[in-house]
Chains A and B, each alone.
Chain A
Amino acid sequence: MNILLFSARRLSLFISSLVVSSGIVFALLRLLPGDLAQAKLGIQATPESLAILRHEMGLDRSLLSQYLDWLIHALHGDLGVSILSGADITAEIAQKATVTIPLVIMASIIAVLISIPLGMYAALRYRNFDGVATSGISQLGIAVPIFWSGILIATVFAVLWPLLPAGGFPEIGWSEPGNAFKSMILPVFTLALGQGAVLMRFARSATIDTLQQDYFRTARATGLSRFQALRIHGVRNAMIPVISVLGMQMATLIVEAIIVENVFALPGIGQMLLQDVNNRDLLKVQGIIAVTTSIVFLVSFIVDLVLGLLDPRVRQK
């Protein structure tokens, strides 16, 4: 398939996914017993004031027209205002994203950097004790809930051996770069270890696969050592599944970031989301979920494009 046609198809898939998923979230959040006006005015509101507010907020129109209205505003970068505080939702998300996005990106990079060499090592030595032990550690890493590894990491590096802060983030954010960076180290590693354990399994099985390929045997026959041949053929072959799994894992990674932010009291999108859920600030919850799912679809769109460019076989499907 032609690259342009392939990209156009993926782009239309990406856009339609955004519209459909935000529609589902919208519908789910409108299933609420009671409604937004009730949530805003409280249970003591008079029917008249409720009716006026419903009209002001457009709640008396059909769900579809309300959704289209929200969608058009959202596409212009306007997610509305919080029901409780009246604050602009887009601005708040943008501000909190300065914590969450660096967290997710740094953790992804470190996860890839840990998982590929370790996965390849476990594959090379898969008949030996150390190889089995390495993949055993990744099994264990997958079974550990992310909040527990966060608590343990905080216990070791902040409580028993006070090197880094156990949580929190400078009030003025990245304007205090040293302290901001310090508060990110433990959360980033917590997230990276959990993700790295998952990615390592894929790097390992891709490498085991490479070891059995004819081109690998040919490379060995030309006199390269196992290690040299693997450096040429193995790294790229291990990268492909790791990158595509990382793309598929994006949704999970964001959820884990939400949890890690709560473990380390980082004032990011995740912590805000949970507060809004507890306050039933539905419009804000809707905005945050719309943004996070857009990121998930955007990443999988980019990963698809990159894999399609790298590997012509992907385009055929």
Chain B
Amino acid sequence: MRKLFKGNISLIAGLSMISFTFFLLILSYIWTPFDPLEVNPDDSFAGVSATHILGADNFGRDILSQIIVGSRVTLLVAALSVTIAMSLGVSMGLAIAVAKRAYQSPMIYAVNIALAFPAALLAIILAAVYGASTLTAVSAIGIATAAAVAQVTRRTAAGILSSDFVLAAHASGASTWWIVRKHVMPNLRASLLIQASAAVSISVLAESSLSYLGLGTPPPAPSWGRMLAGSQQYLFVNPLLAIWPGIVIVIVVLGFNLLGDGVREAFDPTLRRSET
């Protein structure tokens, strides 16, 4: 375990940033300086002070409290959509990799079509039909990310399936299902971990963009994207409002990207040698 972390700056930095995010989430259920929705006309645009540590917005709502509670929507959408993306994407990718040649190309074709619809575009279509909600955001992000996961999983699994030990297993009479379970899955583990962390980053970015555009979770639940959309109207009054929510989004996204890099480094000895 210690060997895993030694010299792996990406892994340590990534995990610290992720811990910070989860700390915000847990804190949101225990304590916030103010009620995040409490309107306080006297404190409108309050600056950074001992009462409002990060200031207050146009309604005098406490920024720090909104940021702490905003972690809920972000992490909820990320958790749900990554669950959809990974379960759908990995099973699609594996199915394509083990399918007969004749079935492979139409399935690859379907994945390529899906890749032309990024999460936000799909969410826009769903919002046009059903109206914007957490559900449309989650389904759009989940399905769009699943296509990317399927593509990477298929390539990685195809590489494993063409290796000699799989050939040997085939020759000794093993079934495809047995090979997938015993050979493909264990060898995919690192790649899946990397993909899952990339999927979280993509989801968080997509969720915040949708909230910014007004197509995410509807108010009043505080969300970082919507806080930024609100701050933009008051750039000339209080540009500082546009800073804080952006910083927490970057911490989450960067944290999961670095986690992915760190896992890659830890599992790929060739990378370790050339990088250190």
Binding site for B on A (CB under 8 A): 13, 17, 20-21, 24-25, 28-29, 31-33, 139-140, 142-148, 151-152, 154-155, 159-160, 166, 248, 251-252, 254-255, 258-259, 262-263, 273-274, 276-278, 280, 282, 285, 289, 292-293, 296-297
Distance of A127 from chain B, by nearest CB (Å):
9
- The answer to whether B124 and A274 have CB atoms under 8 Å apart is yes
Given contacts A151-B232, A255-B118, A263-B232, contact A28 B208 (CB under 8 A): no
- The answer to whether A159 and B236 have CB atoms under 8 Å apart is yes
CA distance A21 to B167 in the complex (A): 38
CA distance A93 to B91 in the complex (A): 39
* Chain A interface helix/strand/loop/mixed: helix
- The answer to whether B121 and A289 have CB atoms under 8 Å apart is yes
Given contacts A144-B246, A159-B239, contact A277 B118 (CB under 8 A): no
Given contacts A151-B246, A277-B124, A285-B128, contact A251 B115 (CB under 8 A): yes
* Given A21-B116, A151-B235, 13 new contacts (CB under 8 A): A17-B113, A24-B113, A29-B129, A145-B253, A147-B209, A148-B246, A151-B228, A154-B235, A166-B235, A252-B118, A259-B212, A274-B124, A289-B124
Binding site for A on B (CB under 8 A): 109, 112-113, 115-118, 120-121, 124-130, 201, 205, 208-209, 212-215, 225, 228-229, 231-232, 235-236, 239, 242, 245-246, 249-250, 253-254, 257-258
| 25 residue pairs from A and B, CB less than 8 Å apart | A17-B113, A17-B116, A21-B117, A24-B113, A25-B125, A28-B125, A140-B250, A143-B254, A145-B253, A147-B228, A148-B228, A151-B231, A155-B235, A248-B115, A251-B117, A255-B120, A255-B121, A258-B124, A259-B213, A262-B212, A274-B215, A289-B124, A292-B121, A293-B117, A296-B116
Distance of B232 from chain A, by nearest CB (Å):
6
Given contacts A28-B125, A32-B129, A139-B254, contact A155 B239 (CB under 8 A): yes
Given contacts A146-B209, A277-B215, contact A293 B235 (CB under 8 A): no
- The answer to whether B257 and A142 have CB atoms under 8 Å apart is yes
- The answer to whether B212 and A147 have CB atoms under 8 Å apart is yes
- The answer to whether B120 and A258 have CB atoms under 8 Å apart is yes
Chain B residues with CB below 8 A from A159, complex form? 235-236, 239
- The answer to whether A143 and B257 have CB atoms under 8 Å apart is yes
